[in-house]
Amino acid sequence: MAEQDGAPARDTLESFAQREMLSHFIDGAIYDLKEAYANAILEYQDALQFGTDPALYAAISADYSKLGKHALASKYGHLAVAIDSLNKNYHFNLANIYLAAFQVDSAIKEYEAILRIDSSDVQALYSLARLYETRKPLEAIKLYQRLLAIQGSSWEVCFRLAQLYNKLQQRREEADMLQAMLRIDPGNSVLRRSLADTYVELKQYDNALNVLEEILQTTPNEIDVLGRMAEIELLKGDFTRARIYFDRLLAQDSLSTEARVHIGEVFLNQAQKDSTILPAARSVFLSLQKSHPNDWRPYWYLGAIALLMREDSIALVNFLRVTELKPENAEAWSYVGSIELDLNKTREAITALRRADSLRPNTFRTLFLLGAAYSRAQENSQAAEILEKALSIDSTNVDAWGLLGLVYDSLHDTIKSDKAYEHALRIDPHNHLVLNNYSYSLAERGVSLERALEMAHEAVAAQPDNTSYLDTLGWVYYKLGNYEEARKYISRAIEKGDASPTVIAHMGDVFLRLNDHAKAVEFWKKALALDPNNQSLKEKLEQAEKHK
């Protein structure tokens, strides 16, 4: 009878405990709804006085996480999992706690645990794939593919996959995902543009054009689409088709000046690969020049086109116009100076290049050209100073070192001249211009003639028809006393038809050594006719007259 008397008492206590635990749990849940997380925790802890339940530990852990107390949150979260390790919700809770604490590796372990419980859990697959994206992109791809197999096409999953394939340069797979997204949202033009760009990466130009053509079905004058299609046709090498799209663009009044300039730039870029396109590029900028006569950009590109077409005078006119419309454009002044230098307008070149240098100081190209201009003007001290400055910016430029050697040679500073030439040859041992100029300098001084002969031969081998090079080789032989070889090469130089007075005078000197005084006088006279102020030639002819 005693045991029967105790049974109702135990039932009563258990029922009481359950009611109390449930009451505190409900009160805690109400506090949670009010975002009073500290009070909610107290209620959940009171509930634990009446019994152990993993749901209570999970609730406490979630609230500690919201309060930023990550260590306590983790502790209670683990207690819930320890009691019921097969409950996915407790693992999700713990994963969220770790993510809030930026403990990504620990969160990953929880999602992996969920998938061991249920390998097809969509939420866990997606969450784990997102965490794998930066750490294990190939594993992330596998998880997203499993998601597609479970739930079919999903915009978000396809988007994530497309991003990953793009990052991994897997263009074919990226295109597949973009196509899947288009099947979900066929009217998405932004998506079509992305797909077209991916096809271009794959060099599937016709597929790219077909995708973009579908956009034109609804918006036939879409400017960026027409421009992209033209560029793709150029990539295909079909200039005729590209021109059709560009003409459609240029015919639109709404097309901005910037867009028109861009079209011209596309033509110009392509023209550098195929010069037959240059007239079309020119026509675009001529049209812009006519409609916007005070915009410097059309003149700039027309100047560039003229340079490509070797029309220096036209290029100069256009670049000069740029300097009028945009006088602060240093590069335009530099181009003006470069062209004027090529046209032998030395003083004008110096003025333009000095202006370029004042607007953008210490630019190697400008300084090099300015040094060359001063050298041509026989202002060699100034040229040396400018070239030294240029080489302080780019000490690897062989042309600048070679020119500096020539300038110092003109200043009779043979130590600096030889040093500059040697530096140039360390950079490029086979530079034929440097080899020629250095060998001529050595020959004039009568030093290191065997080396001079070797360098002169290499220069002539590089450019067999170069008059100056042939003369240098002949002059080295002259200095070596091999007058027949000297006559042979200097004669070849003269036969080219563009020999300078110096070369012709050299021929006279050779004939003198060959004891043919008549021929010597004949060539000296020819040289003097071309250079009437040459005092050395006058003296030679006077001496010849005395020895008749």
Confidence of residue 262 (pLDDT cuts 50, 70, 90): confident
Question: Residues 286-302: what's their mean pLDDT?
Answer: 89
3-state secondary structure string across 281-319: HHHHHHHHHHHCCCCHHHHHHHHHHHHHCCCHHHHHHHH
Question: 64 in a domain, yes or no?
Answer: yes
Q: How many domains does the chain have?
A: 2
Q: Are 443 and 449 in contact (CB under 8 A)?
A: yes
Rounded CA-CA distance 410/460 in Å is: 23
Question: Residues 519-544: what's their mean pLDDT?
Answer: 91
Q: Which domain holds residue 532?
A: 500-548
Q: CATH number, domain at 21?
A: 1.25.40.10
The fraction of the chain above a pLDDT of 70, given in percent, is 97
Q: Are 386 and 363 in contact (CB under 8 A)?
A: no
Confidence of residue 1 (pLDDT cuts 50, 70, 90): very low
Q: What is the CA radius of gyration of the chain?
A: 42
Q: Are 303 and 323 in contact (CB under 8 A)?
A: no
Domain boundary among 118, 133, 168: 118
Q: What is the pLDDT of residue 177?
A: 96
Question: Residues 446-459: what's their mean pLDDT?
Answer: 97
Question: Residues 77-91: what's their mean pLDDT?
Answer: 95
Question: 534 in a domain, yes or no?
Answer: yes
Q: What is the pLDDT of residue 20?
A: 86
CA-CA distances (angstroms) from residue 429 to 123, 178, 278, 392?
A: 67, 54, 37, 21
How far the first Cα of the chain sits from its last, in Å, is: 165
Rounded CA-CA distance 409/407 in Å is: 5
Rounded CA-CA distance 106/113 in Å is: 11
Closest CA to 356 of 344, 370, 342, 346: 370
Rounded CA-CA distance 500/530 in Å is: 8
Confidence of residue 13 (pLDDT cuts 50, 70, 90): low
Q: What is the pLDDT of residue 447?
A: 96
Rounded CA-CA distance 29/36 in Å is: 10
**Which tokens go with 8?**
């109702």
On the question of pLDDT at 3 being above 70, the answer is no
Task: Determine which helix (DSSP H) or strand (DSSP E) holds 261, and give its type and residue range.
Answer: helix 257-271
Q: Are 57 and 76 in contact (CB under 8 A)?
A: yes
Q: What is the DSSP-derived secondary structure letter of residue 277?
A: G
Q: What is the pLDDT of residue 10?
A: 54
Question: Residues 209-225: what's their mean pLDDT?
Answer: 87
Helices marked H in 34-169 — which ranges? 37-48, 54-66, 70-83, 88-100, 104-117, 122-135, 137-151, 155-167
Confidence of residue 548 (pLDDT cuts 50, 70, 90): low
Question: 175 in a domain, yes or no?
Answer: no
Helices marked H in 395-516 — which ranges? 398-410, 414-427, 432-445, 449-462, 467-480, 483-495, 501-513
User: φ and ψ at 378, to 5 degrees?
Assistant: 65, 20
> pLDDT by residue (tens digit) across 121-147?
999 999 999 999 999 999 999 999 999
The fraction of the chain above a pLDDT of 90, given in percent, is 76
Question: 535 in a domain, yes or no?
Answer: yes
Which stretch of 9-18, 212-221, 355-364, 457-466 has the lowest confidence by average pLDDT? 9-18
On the question of pLDDT at 22 being above 80, the answer is yes
Q: Are 83 and 61 in contact (CB under 8 A)?
A: no
One-letter amino acid of 288: L
> pLDDT by residue (tens digit) across 482-508?
999 999 999 999 998 888 999 999 999
Rounded CA-CA distance 377/349 in Å is: 10
Q: How would DSSP label each residue in 150-189?
A: HH---HHHHHHHHHHHHHTT-HHHHHHHHHHHHHH-TT-H
Domain boundary among 118, 147, 163: 118
Domain boundary among 72, 96, 118: 118
Question: 136 in a domain, yes or no?
Answer: no
Q: What is the pLDDT of residue 278?
A: 80
Rounded CA-CA distance 334/363 in Å is: 10
One-letter amino acid of 213: E
Question: Residues 80-102: what's their mean pLDDT?
Answer: 95
Closest CA to 98 of 123, 122, 64: 64
Closest CA to 341 of 328, 354, 330: 354
The most confident of the ranges 29-38, 259-268, 366-375 is: 366-375
Question: 450 in a domain, yes or no?
Answer: no
Question: 185 in a domain, yes or no?
Answer: no
* Average pLDDT of the residues of the chain: 91
**Which tokens go with 305?**
């086109």
Q: What is the pLDDT of residue 11?
A: 60
CA-CA distances (angstroms) from residue 145 to 123, 128, 237, 265, 278?
A: 14, 13, 38, 43, 50
Q: What is the DSSP-derived secondary structure letter of residue 320?
A: H
On the question of pLDDT at 4 being above 50, the answer is no
Which stretch of 93-102, 217-226, 406-415 has the lowest confidence by average pLDDT? 217-226
Q: What is the pLDDT of residue 2?
A: 37
Rounded CA-CA distance 475/464 in Å is: 16
Question: Residues 403-429: what's their mean pLDDT?
Answer: 97
Rounded CA-CA distance 288/297 in Å is: 9
